């Protein structure tokens, strides 16, 4: 029996859900990770493979996660328990909900620390700290930040409080009001940066790099990286999209809504590349600089270019907003569970989740300085938590979502919730979620644990 709305509330419109889900999907992965992996894997050919993976894996899994969330109308843990009961399945499927909530909680603990870097860089850029700096100067600035645990802890604390304050206010007053302001602001800032790249950067060099395919630079590993990025960029497998789906009106089309979210998320990643690469090329820098592209290469580029102080500040505000909207969605599933199962008020639940995640985040803070010499399985605390979530928990969650929606829920339940009236369109999605997406995710999973 379908519930019409969640006890936590409901999005006021389909547009708000699109803004919220896009905000969840758009994060450091789009603006930090996507440009540098495009740079590492040769540009245009990688982008084409990435777009194919988005359509064949990302979109089907997002539709499956939203339909599961909307059908259950509860936190991911309770949704999976309820749907398993309704479908006559083992209650062990509630472990899928636990998997997502735990993965999201662990990600929040270190995501807040990395977002704290972006928050710090907003003030550095605004103060003109990058002006005239060479590579050694910018690198020393970054290393000075991460080697100082007290500064990292302060920025981590501020960012976690920012996230908690939004989530504590609930669906309509907190989540919805935040995305109504933050997502349009993010888009405006991104368009401004692309305009700046067109005016001051080597825009056509950047454009050609992203869209002129050179398949000679594409390897089997590049395809698996593109597949993994397509999955991770949409915030799949961590309960965020599932809980947001539980707040979606039953009248909204899951297929059209998911396609819009996927399209918006992909557009942000492409625009981020078009903003970043022309600036990198104009400064004579290399696009394949890896993770340091954002915190070392770009600050140096902004420091050398006209208007670099203003647009460098805009860029790091953009990065901060993207991280903020994602962290809000990551915290929500655990908060919803505490409200439903422990009878806690949202304020107390948000404070509890934020507090424990903050404490766990201290391990990440120390991984870059005092604990950098301590490793387990050759990984620091941060590397271990990142590896566990990104390479094991999230792919496993995505795989189980595909298997549950594609193989364990009855076709009638799936059709009723999905609401696709065109048989060919439904059959295409059903085939992708049952066969193509699970195989793709399994390949990513095997690659991540070094079995292929």
> So what CATH class is 14-448?
mainly alpha
Per-residue pLDDT, 229 = 86
Q: How confident is the model at residue 35 (pLDDT cuts 50, 70, 90)?
A: confident
Looking at the chain, the whole-number percentage of residues with pLDDT higher than 70 is 98
Is the pLDDT confidence value at 439 over 80?
A: yes
User: With a threshold of 0.75, does the pTM exceed it?
Assistant: yes
Per-residue pLDDT, 216 = 83
Per-residue pLDDT, 381 = 96
Nearest to 100 by CA among 240, 239, 245: 239
Nearest to 10 by CA among 243, 272, 228, 317: 243
Q: What is the DSSP string of 127-153?
A: TTTTTT--HHHHHHHHHHHHT-HHHHH
Rg (CA), the chain: 21
pLDDT in tens, 107-134: 999 999 999 999 999 999 999 999 988 8
Q: How confident is the model at residue 401 (pLDDT cuts 50, 70, 90)?
A: very high
Among 116-125, 293-302, 319-328, the range scoring the smallest mean pLDDT is 293-302
Per-residue pLDDT, 185 = 95
For residues 30-67, b (16+ Cβ closer than 10 Å) or e, as one string? bbbbbbbbbbbbbbbbbbebbbebbebbbbbbbbbbbb
How many residues are present in the chain? 452
* C-beta of residue 254 within 8 angstroms of C-beta of residue 414: no
Per-residue pLDDT, 291 = 61
Average pLDDT, the chain: 92
- Partners of residue 244 on adjacent β-strands: none
pLDDT in tens, 126-169: 999 999 888 889 999 999 999 999 999 999 999 999 999 999 99
Is the pLDDT confidence value at 221 over 90?
A: no
Residues 6 or more apart in contact with residue 378 via CB below 8 angstroms: none
Per-residue pLDDT, 450 = 76
Quick count: other Cβ atoms within 10 Å of Cβ 143? 12
Residues 6 or more apart in contact with residue 303 via CB below 8 angstroms: 130, 131, 132, 133, 138, 312
Q: Label residue 402 left, alpha or beta by phi (over 0 means left) and psi (-120 to 50 means alpha).
A: alpha
Among 76-85, 222-231, 371-380, the range scoring the smallest mean pLDDT is 222-231
Domain ranges of the chain: 14-448
Half-sphere exposure of 452 (CA within 13 A, CB side): 13
Is the pLDDT confidence value at 21 over 70?
A: yes
Average pLDDT over every residue of 271-279: 91
- Coil, helix or strand at residue 376: strand
Per-residue pLDDT, 70 = 97
Q: Locate 105 and state its tokens.
A: 């909680």
How many helices (H) and strands (E) the chain has is answered by 24, 0
């Amino acid at each position: 029996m379908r519930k019409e709305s969640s006890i936590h509330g409901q999005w006021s419109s389909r547009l708000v859900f699109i803004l919220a889900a896009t905000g969840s999907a758009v994060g450091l992965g789009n603006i930090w990770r996507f440009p540098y992996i495009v740079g590492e894997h040769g540009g245009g050919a990688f982008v084409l493979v990435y777009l194919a993976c988005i359509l064949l894996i990302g979109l089907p899994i997002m539709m499956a996660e939203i339909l599961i969330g909307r059908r259950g109308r509860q936190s991911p843990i309770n949704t999976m328990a309820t749907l398993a009961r309704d479908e006559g399945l083992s209650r062990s499927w509630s472990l899928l909900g636990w998997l997502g909530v735990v993965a999201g909680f662990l990600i929040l603990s270190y995501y807040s620390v990395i977002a704290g870097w972006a928050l710090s860089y907003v003030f550095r850029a605004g103060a003109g700290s990058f002006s005239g700096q060479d590579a050694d100067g910018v690198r020393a600035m970054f290393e000075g930040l991460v080697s100082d645990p007290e500064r990292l802890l302060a920025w981590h604390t501020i960012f976690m409080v920012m996230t908690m304050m939004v989530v504590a206010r609930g669906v309509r007053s907190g989540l919805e009001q935040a995305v109504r302001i933050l997502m349009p602001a993010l888009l405006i800032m991104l368009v401004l940066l692309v305009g700046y790249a067109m005016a001051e950067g080597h825009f056509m060099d950047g454009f050609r790099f992203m869209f002129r395919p050179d398949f000679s630079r594409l390897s089997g590993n590049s395809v698996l990286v593109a597949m993994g990025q397509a999955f991770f960029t949409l915030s799949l497998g961590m309960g965020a999209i599932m809980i947001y789906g539980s707040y979606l009106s039953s009248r909204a089309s899951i297929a059209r809504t998911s396609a819009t979210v996927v399209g918006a998320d992909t557009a942000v990643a492409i625009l981020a590349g078009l903003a970043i690469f022309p600036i990198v090329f104009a400064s004579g820098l290399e696009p394949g600089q890896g993770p340091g592209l954002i915190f070392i290469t770009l600050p140096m580029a902004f420091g050398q270019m006209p208007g670099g102080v203003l647009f460098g500040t805009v860029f790091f505000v953009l990065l901060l907003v993207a991280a903020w909207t994602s962290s809000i969605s990551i915290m929500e599933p655990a908060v919803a569970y505490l409200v439903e199962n422990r009878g806690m008020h949202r304020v107390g639940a948000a404070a509890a989740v934020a507090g424990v995640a903050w404490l766990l985040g201290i391990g990440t803070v120390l991984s870059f300085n005092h604990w950098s010499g301590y490793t387990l399985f050759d990984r620091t605390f941060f590397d271990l938590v990142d590896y566990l979530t990104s390479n094991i928990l999230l792919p496993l969650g995505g795989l189980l979502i595909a298997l549950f929606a594609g193989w364990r829920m009855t076709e009638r339940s799936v059709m009723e919730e999905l609401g696709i009236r065109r048989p060919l369109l439904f059959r295409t999605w059903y085939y992708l979620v049952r066969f193509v997406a699970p195989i793709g995710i399994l390949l990513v999973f095997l690659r991540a644990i070094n079995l292929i």
